[in-house]
Amino acid sequence: MKALLRPAVTLFAILTVLTGVIYPLAVTGIGQLLFAHEANGSLVTVNGKPVGSELIGQPFSTPGHFWSRPSATGPQAYNATASSGSNLGPLNPALTDAVKARIAALRAADPGNDKPVPIDLVTASGSGLDPEISLAAAYYQAARVAKARSLSVDKVQALIAQHAARPWLGIFGEPRVNVLKLNLALDASSTDVNVKQAP
């Protein structure tokens, strides 16, 4: 019996040390050495203080900020511990009502804007945490943001273009912009103290 147990226990101990101690420490060390920003959550900081992550969306509702893609996570929006979509089918009346309400909110915030509303401004992503919106969604909001901040539309559009992320290698993905980074850039460039605020 001892002859059978000894190699089994020895192998168990060796594998525990290898897979439970050495491997995690090695992966953590490599991550911290080569990808420290990503390994620590891709945090965005202002004056040395974290204000969010590049990877997780945040709610913005003031006219002087770009609004993020809707979130369906619970119990509150953009809950990183409960990543999920709404799971509502395209024929579900609840989805139709939610989209109509979001369109109405966008129209109310910018009554002079009669352009078609980009789909990503009224539908949640599968994760509910999407930190980015399409360039179309950003440009759709440019006039409202410019008016709220007493900036020219050209200046706001230039900021969008400056912070736009292009497809990787020119073919993978879509042009997009990180909402948190764009709003922070707006806050930094705005001269109107009444609208300059933390996200």
φ, ψ dihedrals at 56, nearest 5°: -125, 125
In whole angstroms, give the CA distance from residue 8 to residue 16.
12
pLDDT digits 0-9 by tens, 95-136:
999 999 999 999 999 998 999 999 999 999 889 899 999 999
Looking at the fold, whether 131 and 166 belong to one and the same domain comes out as yes
Which pLDDT score is estimated for 191? 47
Looking at the fold, whether 68 and 92 belong to one and the same domain comes out as yes
Looking at the fold, whether 25 and 104 belong to one and the same domain comes out as no
Which pLDDT score is estimated for 72? 87
The phi-psi region of residue 163 (left if phi > 0; otherwise alpha if psi is between -120 and 50; otherwise beta) is alpha
Handedness of CA 103, 52, 150, 139 (dihedral sign): negative
Which pLDDT score is estimated for 196? 39
Q: Is 149 exposed, middle or buried (0-12, 13-18, 19+ CB in 10 A)?
A: buried
Please count the other Cβ atoms lying within 10 Å of the Cβ belonging to residue 177.
Answer: 23
Q: Has this prediction a pTM greater than 0.85? A: no
Which pLDDT score is estimated for 126? 87
Which pLDDT score is estimated for 29? 92
User: What mean pLDDT is predicted for residues 28-57?
Assistant: 89
Host domain of residue 19: 1-40
Summary count for the chain: helices (H), strands (E)? 7, 5
Q: Do residues 197 and 62 make contact, with C-beta atoms less than 8 angstroms apart? A: yes
Q: Is residue 199 domain-resident?
A: no
Looking at the fold, whether 24 and 95 belong to one and the same domain comes out as no
Count of the separate structural domains present in the chain:
2
